Amino acid sequence: MGLFRLVTGLPGPSGFGSASTAEQVTAGIDASNLTVIVTGGASGIGTETARVFALRGAHVIIAARNLEAADGAKQLIQRTAPASRVDILELDLSSLKSVRTFADKFLSMDLPLNILINNAGVMLCPYQLSQDGIEMQFATNHLGHFLLTNLLLEKMKSTAKKTGIEGRIINLSSIAHIHTYNEGIWFDKLNDEDVYSDRKAYGQSKLANILHANELSRRLQEDGANVTVNSVHPGLIMTNLMRHSYLLMRVLKVFSYVLWKNVPQGAATTCYVALHPSLKGMTGKYFFDCNEEMPSYWARDEKLAKKLWDFSEKLVKINLVKPE
C-alpha cells in the first residue's frame, strides 16, 4: 500500500480507500437476513461497526464486558436506525469462563450466525496476567477470540449450510503485527515478566490474530465449509483502546496527523470485508483500507500458524493458574 494513497485517501483496486467510511462501503447492501456478533461493540469502531450493520438491517449482538456502555451503544444505534434489532450479551474476553458462558447463552437463543466480528481488544497495557494466568494482551486479543470462534464455529457452518449464505469471520489485527518478538510468537516466554515489552506483546497478539485467521481459513477450506476468514487492519484511530498510552498517542498524532482516521473511516474495512458481495469466497487474506495487502513474513508462515493453533488449543483446555 503506497503512502500517497493512504495520505490522500485515493481509492485502491476495490474502489475504496483510507477516506472511505463504513456507510459508504456498505451502501446499497441488504443485510436484513443476517445475524452478526460484534465483540467490543460497546465503544469505538466496534459501536460504529454494530451501528452500520444495524443500519443495513442485520440482527446485531453486541458482546461487551461493560454492559452499561453496551446499553448506551444500543440506544445510539436505535436512534439512528429505529427499526434495528440489537441485543446485548456480557463477554469478558480475558476470561475463558466468560467466553464459554457467552457462547452457551448465545447458542441457547437458537439464532442463526452469519458473521462474527472479533473486534474487542486491549493495547499497550502494563504487564499483568488474566485470571487464567495468561499474559493479558495475548489472552484478550487472541486467546479469548480463538476460543469464542471455535465454540461458535459449528453454528456458523450449519447456518451457512442451511441458508446457502456464506458465513464470514473477521479478525481485527493491526499493522503493529510487524513489531513483535524475534521469533514472531514467544511461546516459551509468554508470561515472562522479565522480558515483557508492552509494544511487542501487543504486536505479538495482533500477529496471532492473522495467524489464527489464516489457519482457520485453511481448515475450513479442507472441510468444504461455506465460511470465510480474513483479518483486517482498521487504521490509526484515537479510541478507548489507547487508554494505556493516551498521552503518547496524542503526541504521535500531532506529528503524523495525515495518517489518522476518524471512527467511521476506522470501521470501514471491517464492514467492507464482512458485507461486500465482491469478496465472496475470499478467505485467508489481510485487508488494509478496504484493499487486500501483504502482511509480514511471520504472518505468512504456515508452520507458525499451525504451531500457534496447537498451542492455543492447549491453553484453552489447561488453566495456567497454579493452585494455592
Catalytic residues: 196
- Cell 502494563 maps to which residue? 126
- Identify the helix (H) or strand (E) that includes residue 50: helix 44-55
DSSP result, 96-129: HHHHHHHHHHHHHTT----EEEE-----SPPS-B
CA distance 65 to 259: 30
Q: Which amino acid is at 64?
A: A
- Cell 457452518 maps to which residue? 157
C-alpha cell at 273: 470485508
User: Among 68, 59, 16, which Cα is nearest to 38's?
Assistant: 59
Burial track 149-178 (b if 16+ CB lie within 10 A, e otherwise)? bbbbbebbbebbeeeeebbbbbbbbbbbbe
Question: 67-80 and 44-55 are packed helices; what angle lies between their axes, rounded to 10 degrees?
Answer: 40
